[in-house]
Amino acid sequence: MKFSIKMSSMEFYGYTGCLPEEKENGQIFIIDCEMMFDELPGAVNDRLEDTVDYSKVYEVIKDITENNCFDLIEHLAYEIAGKVLETDGLIREVRIRVSKPDAPIDGVFGAMEAEITRSRED
């Protein structure tokens, strides 16, 4: 059996961006996180202590997004993925998508996004 837990459309206010006004004023980022597992005992035995505490994962993502200032959303995604993998030994692989709906581009778009998949072997 393979399992995944998805955390979607988490909204944070952060300061990642190349332009000085992005670093100074900040903007909204929307983060999706999917954690993959080879085994997840809690799915079988219904015990909270045998699964990933996604409230802790949420706090990790929130902290990195709100308290760091990177140039690129690609790097933000990379950093988040690494820290999520460190959160719990059950997590085999993680996929992170960072969406930047207010990117400073003159045009009509939903969001600019970066996505990364990292595993323990990376």
Structure confidence at residue 2 (pLDDT):
85
Which residues are known catalytic residues?
A: 100
Domains of the chain: 3-119 (3.30.1130.10)
**pTM listed for this prediction:** 0.94
Structure confidence at residue 122 (pLDDT):
81
Structure confidence at residue 101 (pLDDT):
96
From first to last of the 122 residues of the chain, give the pLDDT tens digit.
Answer: 789 999 999 999 999 999 999 999 999 999 999 999 999 999 999 999 999 999 999 999 999 999 999 999 999 999 999 999 999 999 999 999 999 999 999 999 999 999 999 998 88
Structure tokens at 39: 């085994």
Structure confidence at residue 103 (pLDDT):
92
